[in-house]
């Protein structure tokens, strides 16, 4: 399954090569042109059928949160820093894979029965953690691990429960999988499917990709937080699992184009596909960079709800994923009916 292959590949921000290779192999038969820019963005171009064509950009980021090697102790323990937003509390005792050779290791912290009472009351600090790969000296570790090596979570794609799956990097390999499906269709407009890099460290790849494409409209497809869990009040649920993909209204990086957002939502309603609005304004995605490009780009975002994002065990409902694909496909077909004036006057 494509989603299994995508999520099990390691592509920490700045090191997306393995993910890019998977995507490139999948999309080659469906595109007129594929380019990889200096940042590492993969931009797939599909020529439209209309005589006078506008440019539509789809965006999903290839990168995931992870860690990077910053030091090796004399006793052979590896020190690290986070790449992207990670809650230190989820790291203890997690299995990881280090570098190109995927050296297995486990994240350690001084055992609780060895901690002083005041230590037990303090927040967990990444500086106190280390990775144990079973070696006894710095020299032994340096044979396979080096400063600057990327570290990914060792986590497999696992179906469980009622149409749920557990995997790492659902944010945003779900979006990448949706874009791959969209490239299999033909459209009146020119379609640019942009698989971006370094979203988790500041929307960097999308900024460059949008500058290259200069689209008339853009849609970002994401995996977003799902907070319908114990301890969170219902009115604070960003999204609810099993209720369909979530259409964004605004977040800390952008305000979605109202016309496009309403269209996404109403297409779901019209075709009896579950859809919801994202009910919080936290976070951000590639739309934050894309909508500011050139003279401005009419941009919207739709996301698949995922519990426990930015961890090795994100959880997603497959029905939400399939519903997202259906709505995005309907959305693109609906854009084909837009007159030139509609594209130009989108505000």
Q: Among all residues, which ones are annotated catalytic?
A: 199
Residue 181 half-sphere exposure toward CB, CA atoms < 13 A: 20
């Amino acid at each position: 399954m494509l989603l299994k292959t995508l999520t099990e590949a390691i592509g920490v921000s700045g090191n997306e090569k393995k993910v890019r290779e998977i995507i490139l192999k999948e999309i080659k038969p469906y595109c007129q042109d594929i380019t990889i820019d200096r940042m590492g963005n993969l931009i797939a171009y599909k020529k439209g059928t209309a005589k006078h064509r506008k440019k539509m950009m789809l965006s999903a980021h290839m990168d995931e949160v992870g860690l990077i090697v910053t030091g090796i102790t004399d006793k052979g323990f590896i020190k690290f820093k986070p790449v992207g937003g990670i809650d230190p509390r989820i790291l203890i005792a997690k299995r990881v894979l280090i570098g190109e050779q995927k050296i297995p290791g486990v994240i350690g912290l001084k055992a609780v029965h060895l901690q002083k009472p005041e230590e037990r009351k303090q927040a967990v600090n990444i500086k106190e953690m280390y990775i144990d790969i079973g070696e006894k000296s710095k020299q032994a570790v340096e044979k396979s691990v080096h400063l600057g090596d990327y570290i990914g979570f060792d986590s497999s794609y696992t179906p469980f429960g009622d149409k749920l799956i557990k995997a790492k990097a659902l944010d945003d390999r779900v979006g990448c999988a949706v874009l791959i499906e969209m490239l299999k269709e033909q459209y009146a407009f020119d379609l640019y499917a942009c698989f971006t890099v370094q979203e988790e460290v500041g929307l960097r790849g999308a900024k460059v990709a949008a500058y290259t494409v200069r689209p008339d409209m853009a849609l970002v497809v994401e995996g977003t937080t799902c907070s319908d869990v114990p301890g969170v009040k219902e009115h604070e649920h960003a999204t609810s699992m099993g209720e369909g993909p979530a259409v964004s209204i605004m977040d800390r990086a952008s305000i979605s184009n109202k016309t496009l957002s309403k269209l996404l939502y109403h297409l779901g309603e019209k075709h009896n596909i579950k859809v919801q609005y994202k009910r919080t304004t936290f976070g951000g995605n590639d739309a934050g960079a894309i909508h500011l490009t050139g003279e401005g780009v009419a941009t919207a975002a739709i996301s698949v709800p995922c519990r426990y994002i930015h961890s090795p065990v994100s959880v997603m409902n497959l029905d939400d994923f399939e519903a997202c694909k259906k709505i995005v496909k309907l959305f693109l077909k609906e854009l084909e009916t837009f007159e030139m004036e509609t594209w130009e006057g989108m505000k």
